[in-house]
Structures are given as C-alpha cells and as structure tokens.
Amino acid sequence: MISVLINGTAHELERAISVDELVQRMELGGKRIALERNGEIVPRSQFPQQMLADGDKLEIVVAVGGG
C-alpha cells in the first residue's frame, strides 16, 4: 500500500501506479488537466512514465471552458 495526497485529500493505493493510470481511474482521461507532483508540473507526455510513490503530493486542476 502507498499513501498519496491528491488535492489535499489522502488516498490509499494498493500498489504504485503511473500518473496516467491515476488519471484514468479518476475518469479524467481526455480532459484538459494540469498536474503537479511534489511541486513540479508533470507534462502529459510523461504521465505513463511517472510512477507514484508513497508520500507523493499531487495537485490536479481541470480546465473548464465557458464564456
């Protein structure tokens, strides 16, 4: 088990997963998002390679369009 903080809320994961898998689990795939991991912006192209680790702090922002 690993523990990560996502937008200030603690989450337990059964194993280390990629940022990409986390985004899919949160049903954010295909949406315009910005993701910060431990204070560093993670480019979308790096989501599959970035593996979450115990204690990671993530901030995820979803872009909302409108007028």
Q: Give the integer Cα–Cα distance in Å for 34 and 57.
A: 14
Which tokens belong to 39? 């204070």
- Residue 44 near residue 67 (C-beta atoms within 8 A): no
Domains and their CATH numbers in the chain = 2-62 (3.10.20.30)
Measured distance CA(36)–CA(19) in Å, rounded: 10
Per-residue pLDDT in tens (0 to 9) along the chain, 67 residues: 999 999 999 999 999 999 999 999 999 998 999 999 999 999 999 999 999 999 999 999 999 877 6
